[in-house]
Amino acid sequence: MNILKTAAVLAVGLVAVAGCQKAAVVDTAAIEAEVKAGVHTWLASYNAGDADAIAARYADDAVVMSPGAPAATGREAIRAMIAEQSAAAKAAGITLAAQDGDTAGVAASGDIAWHSGAYTVSDASGAVIDSGNYMEVQKNIDGQWLIIRDIWNSDRPPAPAEEAAAEPAAS
């Protein structure tokens, strides 16, 4: 009987030890590098007017919150918004660029990653006409990091509203 008890305790102990194996180590540095590099791919596609390439970087139910526009929800709405915006920018000779530096941040945990940073907008002569910040959240969906939320905003104040037309004088 003592042998059976010892064998049972040993078996339970082995099962417990097997269940305590160290979880697989995730290479967060590689994920962070991939997420950060994606911003440069996004910008190059935007400057080239390739809305399809940009839309492919978003999840089916992603939301983009662009300044001066309603939120675009879903890959097709995002593609349409980006196609319109990038075509107008390209026609005007405007280009976007990321400003890697102290303001850039990136991190990953599990299947979620985020990336933030600064950008500039330059006109055809190369003069910076706007600058701002962005934040994107990505999710690993079926082994691919896709953007699920994206927002950017200008550092500059909005253009002043045109003055209201003078009211007609009372008769």
Q: What's the pLDDT tens digit per position in 58-69?
A: 999 999 999 888
With DSSP H G I counted as helix, E B as strand and the rest as coil, what are the percentages for the chain, rounded to 5? 35, 35, 30
Give the pLDDT confidence score for residue 103 in this predicted structure: 61
Q: What is the pTM of this model?
A: 0.76
Give the pLDDT confidence score for residue 2 in this predicted structure: 62
CA 105 to chain centre: 12
Give the pLDDT confidence score for residue 159 in this predicted structure: 76
Task: Please check whether residue 46 lies inside any domain of the structure.
Answer: yes
Cβ-count burial of 67 within 10 angstroms (0-12 exposed, 13-18 middle, 19+ buried)? exposed
CATH number of the domain encompassing residue 123: 3.10.450.50
Helix (H) / strand (E) element for 152: namely strand 144-154
Question: Measured between alpha carbons, how far is 84 from 63 in angstroms, rounded to an integer?
Answer: 17
Task: Please check whether residue 127 lies inside any domain of the structure.
Answer: yes
1: pLDDT strictly greater than 60: no
Residue with more model confidence, 7 or 37:
37
3-state class (DSSP) for residue 111 = coil
Give the pLDDT confidence score for residue 104 in this predicted structure: 76
Residue with more model confidence, 3 or 18:
3
Question: Measured between alpha carbons, how far is 1 from 47 in angstroms, rounded to an integer?
Answer: 78
> Percent of the chain having pLDDT more than 90?
58
Average pLDDT on 118-129 reads: 95
Total number of domains in the chain: 1
Task: Please check whether residue 139 lies inside any domain of the structure.
Answer: yes
Task: Please check whether residue 5 lies inside any domain of the structure.
Answer: no
CB 47 within 8 A of CB 95: yes
Task: Please check whether residue 17 lies inside any domain of the structure.
Answer: no
10: pLDDT strictly greater than 60: no
Average pLDDT on 110-119 reads: 93
**86: containing domain:** 26-154
134: pLDDT strictly greater than 80: yes
Task: Please check whether residue 82 lies inside any domain of the structure.
Answer: yes
Task: Please check whether residue 80 lies inside any domain of the structure.
Answer: yes
Give the pLDDT confidence score for residue 35 in this predicted structure: 83
Task: Please check whether residue 33 lies inside any domain of the structure.
Answer: yes
Q: What is the mean pLDDT of the chain?
A: 83
Give the pLDDT confidence score for residue 26 in this predicted structure: 64
25: pLDDT strictly greater than 70: no
Residue 68 is given by DSSP the state T
